[in-house]
Amino acid sequence: MTKKETSSAWFTLLPTLPKDRVYGMFDMLTIQICFGIAAWFFLVGGFTGLYLPAREAIITVIFGNQIPLFLISLLALYSARYGVDQWIASRAVLGPRFNDILLIAFYLGSSAGWIAYAGLLAGNSVQKINLEFGGPGIISDPYWGPVIFAIVAILIGWYNAYLGPTALKWVSRFGAIFMVTVLLYFIYYILVITGIEKIFTEPPKGDVVADFGVPENFSRNWALALTLEWNVGLGFSWAFWYGQWTRLVKNESAAYHGTLWGWGIIAAVSGVFSALTAIIIGSFDPTDWILTAPFSFAILALILFAIANITSIMMLIYPLSITTVSRFPKLKWSMVTIIFAILGILVSIIPGVFERYNVYLAIISLLTGIYGALLTGGYLLTRGEFSVEDMYDMSKNSKYYYVGGFNLAAVIATIVGFIFYLTTFNPLTTQSMNGLFPYISAGIPTYFVTLATFLLLSKVLKQTP
């Protein structure tokens, strides 16, 4: 790649200038479609279709993801306006020290799981299809097959992420069009071959009473609340990933709408597809439906899952790396990118991690819903007017230093949000201490509790950004 094709701002903490911004509206849509259509949507759609009938499953997948994106959509404007990395921008709202705590504990601490899930879904598909058609023994092994291909997928994704925004742009242009086309064809095939009436009258094959130990007389409430929580968790999960992309966009409109729709209803097509396959065969993994379809579908599905998850790994490792070098500028780009690839590989080899995806989503809903609420509140309080100089200044001289590097309003609101979420829904035990779940979900109410607390305390404590 020549010097004319690169910018130092693409790989460092420097804010992007107009000449560095290479993404228009179409590019933002294709990049976020490639980011969105992957293991997370395939699996959350599959889990949703396992416990809900078709009509409710489709509504839950689409609106369960789109509504959280509307709630946190203002996050797209921070970096689009100022050209800084997301976690540099959030210092203005959180204070530099509190920002670092959330950066390390929330963002960096949870993100290797996304890389692993993307690699494992692609690997799981290869293993099952290979086993069905009598391929090499080691690839057919239920543990080593998915892990081996996951490692290959992660390494391919890592290399493209290392190359930077230009490589990602061209790969995503092809990948997004291909994936949306194939998914729409698969959905059409399912509706025609299985029949619309049969699909929409088929009862869900999962059992929340047996799987989660919930009261039988409230099984429908629990099924609705749990599946909504998983989808809301995915919708809120994008809160960590805005600014690393929107800093590369030519205008605020493209940044706002590209993320809102690319991560939302367009990418949700993949969740609708896997929800329908789960309704038909009773498995959260869409690969199991592929095995019942013609052989040509197996080949097409392998290509789909490979492109979907490899492109998503690319879209994960690049923003993770740009945030890391923005915070720790002495680290080399090549070293940071390979570290995240290795972390993703290490998580992918943990036995049973693939099947615990729904628990992971609920935890992510807690973390990202709170973070999204705080940054939404910060934007509302300031109308998006911030000082770039003070964002970069982590000393006491910065107007965003607050009290010892902590915005007390944000700290207290975070604690309140945590308490409300965990007493409403414990993602590890699926218990509700306050009894509100399953009458309400936890993620969206926690967002509003956190936002209201933050806005109120910002005025009372005079901790406005």
Q: What's the pTM?
A: 0.91
| pLDDT above 70 (res 66) | yes
Mean pLDDT of the chain: 91
- Look at residue 7 in the predicted model and tell me its pLDDT: 62
Q: What is the pLDDT of residues 35-46, one digit of tens each?
A: 998 888 998 999
- Look at residue 393 in the predicted model and tell me its pLDDT: 95
CA 205, 206, 208, 209 torsion-angle sign: positive
Torsion, CA 357, CA 325, CA 236, CA 206, rounded to 10: -10
The fold of 18-460 is Hydantoin permease (1.10.4160)
- Look at residue 4 in the predicted model and tell me its pLDDT: 40
Structural contact between residues 54 and 275, judged by C-beta atoms closer than 8 angstroms: yes
- The SS3 assignment for 204 reads coil
The better pLDDT of the pair 303, 434 is held by 434
| pLDDT above 80 (res 135) | no
| pLDDT above 90 (res 247) | yes
- Domain range annotation of the chain: 18-460
- Look at residue 275 in the predicted model and tell me its pLDDT: 96
pLDDT classification of 260: cutoffs 50, 70, 90: very high
Q: What is the pLDDT of residues 293-330, one digit of tens each?
A: 888 887 888 888 888 889 999 999 999 999 999 999 99
Averaged pLDDT, 411-437? 93
- Look at residue 133 in the predicted model and tell me its pLDDT: 73
CB neighbour class for 207 (10 Å; exposed up to 12, middle 13-18, buried from 19):
middle
| pLDDT above 80 (res 140) | no
Averaged pLDDT, 89-113? 91
Averaged pLDDT, 185-206? 93
pLDDT classification of 3: cutoffs 50, 70, 90: very low
pLDDT classification of 6: cutoffs 50, 70, 90: low
Go through 146-158 and write b for each residue having 16 or more CB atoms within 10 A of its CB, e for each that does not: bbbbbbbbbbbbb
Maximum average pLDDT range among 161-175, 204-218, 409-423? 409-423
